[in-house]
Amino acid sequence: MFTESINLTGKLNIVLLDQFGNVKDTRDVKNLVVTAGKTVIASRMAGNTSPLMSRMAVGTSSVAAVISDTTLGAVVAAGNVALDSTTATTNTLTYVATFPAGTGTGALTEAGIFNGYPGVGSMLCRTVFSTVTKGAADVIVITWTVSIS
């Protein structure tokens, strides 16, 4: 008898830059692929036309990520952006988003990937991390990698 299992794991790299492009902070954080995200993946494998992941959002909730999450705990006003890029390589999806100056500012503690606006589109992943303080002139670049094994 054959037994197959598919595991989805993810991590993100957060880079906080000042207004001159100098690195102020960098982090690598594990994430959780949530049930809603797994449903979108299964739906697309069955040929359904669920929208592709297209947005990333940040928020200020420090409530732990759980498998049933469908949105962030507290999305920051103007704290969601279109993805800069999506790349698929062998067993890996990489999403990159840039939160420019004035977008997604504050004491950030969570992030998520969506196929629409948070609260409207389906969430693929959510993570909670120790506080990254993004000032109005700062830029954050998040590179999110989801591996399928």
Helix H or strand E encompassing 3:
none
Q: What is the pTM of this model?
A: 0.92
Whether pLDDT at 13 is above 90: yes
- What is the model's pLDDT at position 8? 84
- Judged against a pLDDT cut of 90, whether residue 46 lies above it is answered with no
pLDDT at residue 137, rounded to an integer: 98
Structure tokens at 102: 């004035």
Q: Tell me: pLDDT of 126 over 90.
A: yes
**pLDDT exceeds cutoff 90 at 141:** yes
Give the residue-averaged pLDDT of 116-132: 93
Query: Given this model, what pLDDT does residue 50 score?
Result: 75
At 70-112, the pLDDT tens digits run 999 999 988 899 999 999 998 899 999 999 999 999 999 999 9
- Dihedral (Cα; 120, 118, 114, 129), 10-degree rounding: -150
β-pair partners for 112: 57, 126
C-alpha 38/C-alpha 51 separation (Å) is 13
Query: How high is the pLDDT of residue 148?
Result: 85
* 9 pLDDT above the threshold of 90: no
Residue 5 has pLDDT above 90, yes or no: no
Mean pLDDT of 18-24: 97
